[in-house]
Amino acid sequence: MSSLKITPDQIKLGYAIKLPSGWLKHPFLSSSLTIENAQQIQIIQSLGLDYVYFYPEKSKQIQSDILQCPDDEDINFNCQLSEAQARLQQDKMKRIEQAKAHRRDLQKTEKAFQHSLNQVKSLMKLLGSRPLNAISEADQLIGLLTDNIVNAQSLVLHLMSGSSKEQENLYYHALNVSILSMMLAKNLDYSAENIKIAGIGALFHDVGKLKIPTQILRKTTPLTAPEANLLKLHTRFGTELVSLADNFPLEASVILEQHHEHIDGSGYPKGLSNQQIHPLARLVAVVNAFDNLCHPSDGSKGRSPHHALSHLYRSMKGKLGEQEMKMLIRMMGVYPPGTLVMLNDNRVAMVMSVNSEHLLLPNVMIYDPDVPRLEAPVITLEADKLMISKVIMPSALPEQVVEYLNPRAQVSYYVQGKP
């Protein structure tokens, strides 16, 4: 989009402009803005800029009388102008502090996530040789997560950075499905004991795939009938593996066996339907299907979390539990972490975390080419002020915007409890 250089005294109401100074050198939340009042003009003129960028195509006509600005010597007006500028600056600094606090929370959560992921890798490798030790480690990990989820008044679901290593996909998937299953169980009012069982079952639900050849697991073209039948055996292989440990909960073992059963009887391995399927297995089945839509074997076909939820409800209605699907959508929010969005001020952002108490007002990282990516504003949206107007596909954005926001190929989640 073409722009013109104009002097600050040429600015008029409705003009879409961009300030050429750094983000910290002016009191506005963004270097790009549309002029809505005389006060904004006066503040810009007080910045000592030689010029601003003017975007005619983005500007709008505002019906008003000829703008009459008081002389610079008008003390009362200057006092009002200084107060307005101070308020803008104060609001901006508040948002900067909020962004820093969010990043500290995120770093703390990232550290906890990596610790949990390392535990998952370790216990999965132990399962074949020392199953008792593996189950004990899993029990401790899931126990801590359960306490966190059960005791918090509200939960913040964070987007975590993922790995590009294919061999680690199983670990990310296991931890993802486990965390989301426990959150879903809490939202469905399950007891703490059942939340923990859901977590353990979900953590090991695909462990049988360790016995499936990697060329089948990584195959991006349709499986042959023999290959598909072998893959389906992972539910049996999984239950056989955990049966080596007498400390593995029986109800959690049922999750391993039944997480691919459908309520219409079209699933496997036994073609169970409706109430024949254990409630916790129905719950894990929904979360598993969601995460598989985000991370299929052919990575190029992966859906964003927002579109995965939409597709899940449309395509799996009548196959997966409707109550569980609706609650998952409600829990993840209209804009799950990892979703690219357009804000009502036309800025592009990525949802970073969602608070269970304010699902429509998530924390977002805003694209601003004038701010280094590591210092990109991460702000909490506000009702009636800064809000999401629509969801955007990565393919609809310029390459530099996608690189800046870096939507994850591996969408991983971790939960933080808020007392």
pLDDT of 323 reads: 95
Inter-residue contact 287 to 312 (CB < 8 Å)? no
Indicate if 245 and 294 belong to the same structural domain.
yes
Last residue of a domain, one of 332, 351, 370: 332
Indicate if 187 and 314 belong to the same structural domain.
yes
Angstrom CA distances, 397 to 1, 341, 350, 391, stand at: 14, 11, 12, 12
pLDDT of 149 reads: 87
DSSP 196-219: HHHHHHHHTTTGGGGGS-HHHHT-
Inter-residue contact 379 to 364 (CB < 8 Å)? yes
Question: What 3-state DSSP class applies to 104?
Answer: helix
Mean pLDDT of 126-138: 87
pTM (2 d.p.): 0.77
pLDDT at 412 over 70: yes
Last residue of a domain, one of 69, 96, 119: 69
Q: Is residue 47 part of a domain?
A: yes
Q: Is residue 93 part of a domain?
A: no
Indicate if 44 and 137 belong to the same structural domain.
no
User: Which of the two residues, 200 and 34, has the higher pLDDT score?
Assistant: 200
Q: Is residue 80 part of a domain?
A: no
Which helix (H) or strand (E) element contains residue 389? strand 388-391
Which residues have a Cβ under 8 Å from the Cβ of 419 and sit 6 or more positions away? 152, 153
299: domain range? 106-332
Instruction: Give the count of beta carbons closer than 10 Å to the beta carbon of residue 288.
Output: 23
Q: Is residue 284 part of a domain?
A: yes
Indicate if 414 and 356 belong to the same structural domain.
yes
Indicate if 63 and 155 belong to the same structural domain.
no
The string of pLDDT tens digits covering residues 317-345 is 999 999 999 999 888 888 888 889 999 88
Indicate if 297 and 400 belong to the same structural domain.
no
CA 197 to CA 202: how far, in whole Å? 8
Q: Among residues 32, 31, 88, 39, which one has the least CA distance to residue 55?
A: 32
DSSP 172-183: HHHHHHHHHHHH
pLDDT of 189 reads: 94
Q: Is residue 366 part of a domain?
A: yes
Which residues have a Cβ under 8 Å from the Cβ of 120 and sit 6 or more positions away? 141, 171, 174, 175, 203
Indicate if 276 and 361 belong to the same structural domain.
no
Q: Among residues 418, 346, 337, 351, which one has the least CA distance to residue 381?
A: 351
Give how many domains the chain has, as a whole number: 3
Last residue of a domain, one of 313, 332, 351: 332
The string of pLDDT tens digits covering residues 179-189 is 999 999 999 99
Helix axes 279-294, 169-187, angle to 10 degrees: 130
Indicate if 290 and 147 belong to the same structural domain.
yes
| 151 pLDDT tier (thresholds 50, 70, 90) | confident
Q: Is residue 79 part of a domain?
A: no
Helix axes 169-187, 192-203, angle to 10 degrees: 160
Indicate if 277 and 323 belong to the same structural domain.
yes
What tokens were used for 359?
């699902």
What tokens were used for 307?
């579109």
Indicate if 364 and 216 belong to the same structural domain.
no
Indicate if 255 and 326 belong to the same structural domain.
yes
Which residues have a Cβ under 8 Å from the Cβ of 388 and sit 6 or more positions away? 334, 335, 341, 342, 343, 344, 360, 364, 381
Indicate if 52 and 192 belong to the same structural domain.
no
Q: Is residue 203 part of a domain?
A: yes
Specify the CATH number for the domain of residue 161.
1.10.3210.10
Q: Is residue 98 part of a domain?
A: no
